[in-house]
Amino acid sequence: MGATEPNGDALPTSETVYDSSYIPRGTVTAELKFYAPPVDGSKPWNYVKPPTDGQPKRNFGDMDIPVTITDIRGQESLYNLDDNAFTTLKNGPSAETDFTSNESIKERYYPEVEQLLLQNVPGAKRIYIFDHTVRLVNGDRPPVLRVHIDQNKAAAMGRVHHFLPDEAEDLLRNRVRIINVWQPLNGPVQCSPFAFADSKTVEDDALVSVEHRYPDRTGETLSVKHANEQWYYWSGIENDERILLECFDNEKGGRVPHTAFEDPRSPVGGKQRESIEVRALVFG
């Protein structure tokens, strides 16, 4: 008799074929793309937009490493922002339904995110939302298949100075976090699910600062070398569910590596994932 899931269902094999309605669930082993240093030993960098002077988009590579990714569906209460630097919420439908107009997103969706953070992040007193990314099937920002953290410490503190220059010094004397709010737009997710690591299992030595070159400025992100981190995802996430990820916390040190990944169980003909992530400074 073949191996089975805890619920008694047969475990998939490399020959398993799923119909287009299948939603992958349960623990899975999949390859994630981790940091591989530049071959010449130089400081790593990447361009947000492809350069026009013949340079490559980035000077570092990837290492494809298989890891175990645990499904937190049904165990959501075990994880929280202070201990793991991620949490999950069920928030109901959004007033924004199209997600193609940046102005509409700012007008209708940002206030929802602000209230969600104030109501669900312990200690939060003030929210400043500074950007968002929409990932659509036919858009120019597909899911990122590379393990990363959106800001390093210098970049996170720089965001406070950039957006709130007159208040930055006072604000940085107290707790400051950068929290991403992630949700699908065409759930339940079947393809390119979203994986995230438990912050307390991530070693500082595994994090590598990368110059993130915009047309008008240079920021810094973090790439990640594989070590002993523990990986999770939330199977079949729906449009009324949210994942909150800390990218920076100047008090408790939370910083969550995350990435899209190719689930070997994703069905042929399944929906290609569409999603939005909103990035916010959280004070208090």
The pLDDT confidence band at residue 96, using thresholds 50, 70 and 90, is: very high
Confidence of residue 1 (pLDDT cuts 50, 70, 90): very low
- Mean pLDDT across 218-224: 96
Query: Given pLDDT bands bounded at 50, 70 and 90, which one contains residue 3?
Result: very low
Q: In sequence order, what are the residues at sequence separation of 6 or more whose Cβ sits closer than 8 angstroms to the Cβ of residue 211?
A: 43, 44, 45, 46, 218, 219, 220
pLDDT at 164 over 50: yes
**pLDDT on residue 215:** 87
Reported as a single tens digit per residue, the pLDDT across 104-138 is 999 999 999 999 999 999 999 999 999 999 998 87
What pLDDT, in 10s, does the model give residues 195-211? 999 999 999 999 999 99
Is it the case that residue 14 has pLDDT exceeding 50?
no
- pTM, full prediction: 0.92
Which candidate, 223, 232, 121, places its Cα nearest to that of 181?
121
DSSP states along 149-187: ES--HHHHHHHHHHH-TTTHHHHTTS-EEEEEEEEESSP
